[in-house]
A = this chain, B = another copy of it.
Amino acid sequence: MPTIRVSQAQINPTVGAFSMNTEKIIQFIKKARDKGADIITFPELCVCGYPPEDLLLKQSFLQDNLSAIQKIREHAKDIAVVVGYAHCHDGRVYNAAALLQNQKLVVNYHKVELPNYGVFDEKRYFGEGSESILFEMNQIRFGLTICEDIWIEGGMCEEFARLKQMDLVLNISASPFHADKLETRLRVAQRFARCADAFLCFNNLLGGQDELVFDGGCFVMTPQGGVISRAGRFNEELLITDIRIDHPKEPQPDVLKKPGASGIVLANRRYHYRNQIAPIMASEHGRFEEIYEALVLGTRDYVKKNGFTQVVLGLSGGIDSSLTLVIAADALGSENVVGITMPSEYTSQETLTDAERIADNLKIRLITVPIKNVYEAYLQSLHDTFGNEEISVAYENVQARIRGNLLMAFSNQFGWLVLTTGNKSELAVGYCTLYGDMAGGFAVIKDVPKTLVFELSEYVNDSRGQDIIPVSVIKRPPSAELRPDQKDEDVLPPYSLLDDILQAYVEEDRAPEEIIGAGFDRKIVNEVARMVDLNEYKRRQAPPGVKITPKAFGKDRRLPITNAYLKSR
């Protein structure tokens, strides 16, 4: 019975870093060849990184991407290679998989299904492919697909089912992470494998790119939908799997729509395997573990790929900055994280002590800069115009902005990237200060709702068997500490209620009436919806952060700032 050794390279390229990416791809080809693999696949567009966005509109970028493929081609010796790149053909650019063997580019497959929803803009850049590719190696017949191709019901799936020719379908992907995405991916893969009646080798990208994290998780699935090998996630890896085809399809010539695209027979490999490779089954992640790992990877890659080594953040002693600190320390090492605590007259001794304790627990350098004198200088300067008007939210924001200014001064002086510490619930309702606590380069927990911030903090402590985040931080009612005895719940509904409403209104795009109909209080729902809509302008100026939910603020959710829709009700 025909057998093949398939290797899948779960690599972490950087957008635009052609020589680094090419070097990495060549290293993985060598490694796979050394392990006796017949074929190696690489993720979607990994030559240029994903998503390259408008870099694809630069001719020089496309040129450099072609040069990279030519270099990689030279290393396709004694192994077949499938690698994702941008293929220019007849004045259009295609999201392509190049099939390389014997130092030749055998054929280009052009992605057929181009996603143009959520975070995706592929129709902005790419022409739609229209040909299936069928090739043969070791008497096994392969189909090629790219990411979305296997996600569309009745698309390539039905085409392959109709053809009854593919024994094994290779899929190269750049499928971004969100919580529980893996389950969806497996379900989609199963539907495809069963419908196409073929093995499916899913090769996902790894790494952080601005707001996206690609979690890897390559796998090989049988035509019945069983996973026979699985790579880990959040790390680079080479997954090698020996596949035996028990019931090879009966070859029929020219079954494809376009005859040019079929009948490709690759040189068989000359090796016979001495040893069968035992299938790898990486362990699975728990719900909080996978989210936490995504936050760590996304933060590490944003910082490092942007040329920074060290980060700084404002440590208030509250739960948001505490969790952010733990993530940063895991991502970059404690020695590369600096905490700054900036107490005011409204800062309680308890939160200050907690800030010190967590910095201590993580062995983080902590700098203290009280804001009292600066704040008083502002009050004095504003007094002439403001007169004796009521002390208002303006003064609260001044304090938050002094802190933002101080953090940025440290950033400018020492080259530390500022991490912001706001959560998704705050950002949704605008309970945060533009240029204040929102000031910074990367917003680590921007997409983490407050209730999940609590859960992740408990997870951090549980998983280490130690209260890295002091219990008092987790137990204390959230407060911005910008005026005496302030509590978040003075102006916001309790977070468990708020997060449920936000889930319905933001993530599921439900109308307020519908949410009220589901049993929520009319006044609260309308007020939350109003706050979400009114604060689009703040979100537009927020730094990027790791997407961990199906709908993150950012490329996922593109609402106009000027929007009279709900405001006018």
**Which residues of A pack against B, CB within 8 Å?**
14-20, 49, 51-55, 57-61, 64, 116-117, 121, 123-124, 208-210, 301-302, 305-307, 367, 369-371, 373-374, 376-378, 380-382, 384-386, 389, 392-395, 397-398, 401-402, 404-406, 408-410, 412-413, 434-435, 439, 441, 509, 511, 513-514, 537, 540-544, 557-568
A410 nearest CB across to chain B (Å): 7
Do A378 and B382 have beta carbons less than 8 Å apart?
Answer: no
Contacts A116-B124, A511-B59; A369 near B384 (Cβ below 8 A) = yes
B20:A564 contact, CB within 8 angstroms: yes
Contact B561 A210 (CB under 8 A): yes
Number of copies of this kind of chain in the complex: 2
Q: How far, in whole Å, are A123 and B117 apart by their CA atoms in the complex?
A: 8
Contact at B389–A398, with CB atoms within 8 Å? no
Given known pairs A412-B392, A544-B540, the reply for A370 and B381 (CB within 8 Å) is: yes
CB distance from A529 to the nearest CB of B (A): 11
| Residue among A60, A377, A564 having the largest count of chain B Cβ atoms under 10 Å | A564
State whether A59 touches B509 (Cβ < 8 A): yes
Neighbouring B residues of A55 by C-beta, 8 Å: 559-560, 563, 565
Asked if residues B378 and A376 are in contact (CB atoms below 8 Å), the reply is no
A412 touches B441 (CB 8 A): no
Inter-chain contacts of A306 with B (CB < 8 A): 537, 561-562
Cα distance A209–B58 in the bound complex, in angstroms: 28
Partner of A117, one of B58, B124, B307, B392: B124
A/B interface sample: 14 pairs, CB < 8 A: A16-B568, A59-B509, A60-B511, A60-B514, A64-B565, A116-B116, A121-B558, A369-B382, A369-B384, A369-B385, A373-B381, A389-B413, A393-B412, A435-B439
> Out of B14, B57, B393, B560, which one reaches A509, CB within 8 Å?
B57
Q: Which residues of B contact A568 (CB under 8 A)?
A: 16-20
User: Once the chains are docked, how many angstroms separate the CA of A434 from the CA of B59?
Assistant: 31
Query: Closest B-chain residue to A412, C-beta based?
Result: B394
* A567–B307 CB distance below 8 A: yes
Residues in chain B near residue A121, CB distance under 8 A: 116, 121, 124, 558
Q: Is A559 touching B374 in the complex (CB atoms < 8 A)?
A: no
The interface residues of chain B lying within 8 Å CB-to-CB of A51 are 560
Residue of B with least CB distance to A375: B377
A405 B435 Cβ-Cβ under 8 A: yes
Given known pairs A58-B509, A374-B377, the reply for A562 and B405 (CB within 8 Å) is no
Closest to A410 in B: B385
A385-B367 in contact given A405-B401, A563-B16 (Cβ < 8 Å): yes
Given contacts A16-B564, A568-B20, whether A54 and B378 have CB atoms under 8 Å apart is no
Do the beta carbons of A435 and B404 come within 8 Å of each other?
A: yes
Smallest CB gap from A50: residue in B: B560
* In the complex with contacts A378-B374, A511-B60, A562-B413 CB distance below 8 A: no
With the chains together, A537 CA to B58 CA distance in Å? Answer: 19
* A16 CA / B559 CA spacing, docked (Å): 11
Report the minimal beta-carbon distance from A327 to chain B, rounded to whole angstroms. Answer: 18
